[in-house]
Amino acid sequence: MTVNVAIDGPAGAGKSTVAKAVAAKLGYIYVDTGALYRAVGLYALNNGIPTDSAELVGDCLKDITVELKFSELGQQVYLNGENVSSLIRTPEASMAASNVSAIPAVRAFLFDLQRNIAKENNCIMDGRDIGTVVLPDAQVKIFLTASPETRAKRRYDELIAKGAEVDYQDVLADLIQRDYNDSHREAAPLRPADDGVIFDNGDYDFDASVAKVIEIIEEKIK
């Protein structure tokens, strides 16, 4: 029987980095579902399609193929055969992902891909609605969060380290807008699963966050 771990939470909570490290330590596959939405958002951006238009984005889905491939480099995201793993990490792609993820047709488009991966592998999957919608029967559900200011500072430091020219207040404003969009959308809004564990990691460094998540997982599956 496969073990599925769902990690949900708002932008900048460290879901991806923590989940990736936990998966490596436990020998599970790590699945970053946000990357799938970023890929769809990137396609819309590259083709001049308004990412908040349900009709126009929905119409373009027939022209999109999104694949996840797993290698020694970790999860790689392919959009119509092109590896876009680095291209989807810009602030523009983040906001595009937030917009397209509110569109029911996009969520339906990516739903089977996510579920099939979980069905066939021990995996840690992170996103916004994994424990509530995608994997409601996951053995472990964690809602990872922190204050907007803490999350914005993390995202700001991450972008600066990559050489991006960004302003902290702009990062904070974008993050607060994403929080609002994600929690108020009609399709699968961001919220903790009723049977999930809420973990505020605002006072935890990276290693301590990883250790705490592993502790939660081991407690749930023992």
Q: For position 70, what pLDDT does the model report?
A: 84
Query: Greatest CA separation found in the chain?
Result: 50
Domains, the chain: 4-221 (3.40.50.300)
Sign of CA dihedral 59, 62, 65, 66: positive
Rounded CA-CA distance 124/221 in Å is: 13
Name the pTM for this structure.
Answer: 0.80
Please give the full DSSP string across 21-58, using - where no structure is assigned. HHHHHHTPEEEEHHHHHHHHHHHHHHTT--TT-HHHHH
Residue 11: helix, strand or coil by DSSP? coil
Q: In tens digits, what is the pLDDT along the chain, a chain of 222 residues? A: 899 999 999 999 999 999 999 999 999 999 988 899 999 999 999 999 999 999 999 999 999 999 988 888 888 999 999 999 999 998 899 999 989 998 999 999 999 889 988 998 899 999 889 999 999 999 999 999 999 999 999 999 989 998 989 999 999 999 999 899 989 988 888 999 999 999 999 999 999 999 999 999 999 998
Q: For position 123, what pLDDT does the model report?
A: 94
∠ Cα 148 18 79 (to 5°): 90
- Which tokens belong to 98? 């937030």
Rounded CA-CA distance 66/171 in Å is: 28
What count of other Cβ atoms lies within 10 Å of the Cβ of residue 136?
14
What single-letter amino acid sits at 218? E
